Structure 1
Amino acid sequence: MKILVTGGAGYVGGTVSRILVAGGDEVTVYDNFCHSQRSAVAEGVRLVEGDLADRALLEGTLREGQFDGVMHFAALIEAGESMKRPELYFRANTMTTLTLLEAMQATGHKRLVFSSTAACYGEPLSTPIAEDARLLPTNPYGESKLLVEQMLKWMNEIHGLRYASLRYFNVAGAMEGYGEAHEPESHLIPLILDVALGRRSSIKIFGRDYPTADGTCIRDYIHVRDLADAHLLALEALKEKSRLIYNIGNGQGFSVLQVIESVRRVTGKPIPVEECPRREGDPAVLVASSEKIKQELGWAPQFGELDAIIASAWEWHQKRYA
């Protein structure tokens, strides 16, 4: 197949690109490198450097490629930053996706896999969270993604766009030769691994007063390879299905303190901590029910244990700075 991957120099997009190329697919990566580097682009892909707001470049890329599907990862992803600069997130995540949808419509492209987020749910009424749970984001990042989901629904009903919206929980881990390297880094596990390597003096814990067993936030961690496999299954399913919405997670919740303890076990390092006030917009608990994609597409995570996920990230992290 011929696949356009937006944000293909990012963590998840780069992983998916590598798996597609390894499987013999023809991949074009579209990226503006605002939070990534050219070195992250997979070997064997065609690269188009550009912004999704550039309708002419985007439409030209689509017309030239005549792709079998589009995988849309390009986005800003920092919930904390979105609480300070919401306008940035609505422009970068929502408005540019509308440009992509318009360009796809103009060029006859009808199959899209969208990188959504568990942040669409906000503070859940119960856990694990199913796909039909209330959608009430607590930060502009989640709202910017939910607005895209609403656009996709109407593009499906009116224009026949086939789409899969995959609501991620916390992605972690690494495949051989490629892992998590955001610029700048803000995700918990790579930040803790930086402490283990001596690149940071301590890890910050934002809030110890949440209504959880140890007072810290609880999240569901999914290995990036498992997440990538879900994308491939969703893209294939869109040959027959018109609209798919799935949670992608392990179904297990781990608190911030539990993640730190896991890193201590895996690395053998002490990991000093620094307690800080809560960040606005952080729900206390986000844990997925992924039963729907398991039943409908046969997906199953291969990395169910947190220590195994962190071990793969630790191996990558050490080689990254060797």
Structure 2
Amino acid sequence: MTVLVTGGAGYIGSHMVWNLVDAGEDVVVIDRLSTGFEWAVPTEARLQVGDINDQPFVERVIAEFGVTEIIHFAGSIVVPESVSDPLGYYLNNTVASRALIESAVRCGVKHFIFSSTAAVYGSPRQMPVQETQPPAPESPYGTSKWMTELMLRDTAAAHPLTFAALRYFNVAGADPKGRTGQSTKGATHLIKVASETALGKRTHMDVYGTDYDTPDGTCVRDYIHVSDLADAHAQALRYLRGGGESLIANCGYGHGYSVLQVLDTVRRVVGKEFDVRFAGRRPGDATSIVADASIARERFGWTPRFDDLDRIVADALSWEENLSRRNAR
């Protein structure tokens, strides 16, 4: 059995590849390296540089390496960017995913795990949000992911393919062993941006919106350590291999932190102040969203190991220091 990881040279995807390699899995990676890095892929995994929208290329890789399962991370992920470039997001996320799913069916792939997002919920009325809540995405990013979930649902009903769509919440942190982390220049993840600012890589950072209906006026999110998210995908893979039925599951810790609370944590962990400026709201940002991850815990036994904001921030800061040393070579 060989697992194909799309986007495996990127932030979350590279953590997934390391998780699989650590477990002794046979892994092949497809990544076009638009935002990923060749060095982030362990040498034990075979990197194939290309686009998942190129079906002859994808089907050649599946056949050549005997791929039986796909874990799909490739795609665009910035909510405000999706608002300004919706067609680009529907191309990179929805159209490309359709091509990948069709290739999987043609080549007899058995299991498909899709890295979805909590953005499919928009601003939920009840929290923690459960998977039964009707999707109401507020950005093309969220809609593009939801459309892929629908394609997987309908494809699984028509073909011998089982899937798991994992709706992850706000991913942060880095590999505790220091092997990979968020490395993209100009990244927009809050903890990444705050870590860069605290270490002097940015002159300042902006907080977008201070008038939300939250205790301190800033958005509230459920921050999940990237290694726990990779574990959730690995557990979902084992669940499907064991005959589990297709499912959709949230991946989050069930409690949220506001933007200002996160910045206070970064200040405490790093031990110094940094320049924070306030700006208006960004389009597409939900007010507050926190996960109910009962399905992931109960159906495939996901047990988070890094549910601690200080630990998430410390790993993110450590990776920023590693990245500075790497870039200085």
Tell whether the 8 Å contact from 2:174 to 2:180 is kept in structure 1 after alignment.
Answer: yes
Tell whether the 8 Å contact from 2:76 to 2:92 is kept in structure 1 after alignment.
Answer: yes
* TM-score, length of structure 2 as denominator length: 0.96
Residue 196 of structure 2: aligned partner: 194
Q: Deviations over 1:24-81 (max 9, x none)?
A: 1111010001112222222211111001111110111111122231100001000000
Tell me, which stretches of 5 or more residues in structure 2 are unaligned? none
Correspondence 1:164 to 2:164:
yes
**What amino acid is the match of 2:272?**
K
Cα drift, residue 291 of structure 1: 1.3
Correspondence 1:287 to 2:294:
no
Which among 238, 241, 250 is matched to residue 240 of structure 2? 238
Distance 1:9 1:287 in 2: 28
Distance 1:304 1:213 in 2: 22
Tell whether the 8 Å contact from 2:68 to 2:108 is kept in structure 1 after alignment.
Answer: no
Tell whether the 8 Å contact from 2:173 to 2:225 is kept in structure 1 after alignment.
Answer: yes
Tell whether the 8 Å contact from 2:220 to 2:289 is kept in structure 1 after alignment.
Answer: yes
DSSP-derived class of the 2:116 partner: strand
CA RMSD of aligned residues (A): 1.0
**What amino acid is the match of 1:244?**
L
Residue 273 of structure 2: aligned partner: 270
Correspondence 1:257 to 2:260:
yes
DSSP-derived class of the 1:321 partner: helix
Which among 296, 300, 306 is matched to residue 299 of structure 2? 296
DSSP-derived class of the 2:253 partner: coil
* TM-score, length of structure 1 as denominator length: 0.98
1:211-250 correspondence runs (5 A):
211-239=213-241, 240-250=243-253
Tell whether the 8 Å contact from 1:122 to 1:136 is kept in structure 2 after alignment.
Answer: yes
Equivalenced residues, count: 322
Runs of 4+ in 1 over 4 A off after TM superposition: none
DSSP-derived class of the 2:282 partner: coil
**What amino acid is the match of 1:282?**
D
Distance 1:183 1:202 in 2: 15
Residue 147 of structure 1: aligned partner: 147
Distance 1:46 1:183 in 2: 25
Tell me, which stretches of 5 or more residues in structure 1 are unaligned? none
Cα drift, residue 172 of structure 1: 0.7
**What amino acid is the match of 1:206?**
Y
Distance 1:311 1:162 in 2: 37
Q: Deviations over 1:271-290 (max 9, x none)?
A: 22110110011010011011
Distance 1:147 1:298 in 2: 27
Residue 309 of structure 2: aligned partner: 306
Query: Sequence identity, in percent?
Result: 42
Distance 1:298 1:41 in 2: 27
Residue 63 of structure 2: aligned partner: 63
**What amino acid is the match of 2:81?**
E
Cα drift, residue 305 of structure 1: 1.4
Residue 37 of structure 2: aligned partner: 37
